[in-house]
Chains A and B, each alone.
Chain A
């Protein structure tokens, strides 16, 4: 069974700190990975996606992919209370368009 695993949290970080969200996947055929943010009662919002090994930066967000270790992470610099949400990691196999979602990590940014 193809799985994407995340620690459910909550992950609590103080305002201004770096939040590190991690995700592992079992399907070696997965080629693309996506991070979505979901506020309580709302639908997911795309944060970033990454295809290649290494780091990809967009503003305060950095996605990291290590295909050898089957590991994806999302770093949020200068965390703000508005970043408090559930972060969903998703993998996509090159042969299918649907995503396999993790259960999400709840992030709490404290004042």
Chain B
């Protein structure tokens, strides 16, 4: 149980492109979803927290107009990196949790901007 699916697993695209990443909880209802970013050999950095039907709460220093988060249902959240640039290249990971449950992570999306 507690499977979180993230798609796509890898994206390579040109600078200026917008990229959408999907995160789905397959076998439970995710009241809260989280988006993280991880640079090589560094720890996870929380970008934002989203509750179903509400606006996401962004961590300090994360541009909400750059990283658009939508959590339209209890099983789906999306992160859109708008007008991506090489410095946005990173490993993006979502996680989901049911009410009072632990966070379960998706497999991550490796984003490379050329």
Contacts and interface: CB of A to CB of B under 8 A. Distances in A.
Interface string A16-38: 00000000000000001010100
A44 interface: yes
Interface residues on A, range: 10 to 19
Given A34-B102, A42-B108, A43-B108, A97 B32 contact: yes
Nearest to B34: A98
A57 interface: no
A49 B102 CA distance: 8
A104 interface: yes
B105 A43 contact: yes
B103 interface: yes
A32 B32 CA distance: 17
Contacts of B42: 103
A91 interface: no
Contact of B43 (A43, A46, A104): A104
Interface residues on B, range: 10 to 19
B78 interface: no
Contacts of B44: 44, 88, 101
Interface in A63-90: 88
B49 to A, nearest CB: 6
Contacts of B107: 42-43
A103 B43 contact: yes
B97 A97 contact: yes
Nearest to B2: A46
B81 interface: no
Interface string B67-84: 000000000000000000
B27 to A, nearest CB: 14
Contacts of B20: none
Contacts of B102: 32, 34, 46, 49
Given A49-B102, A97-B32, A101-B44, 7 more contacts: A34-B102, A34-B103, A42-B107, A44-B93, A99-B46, A99-B103, A103-B43
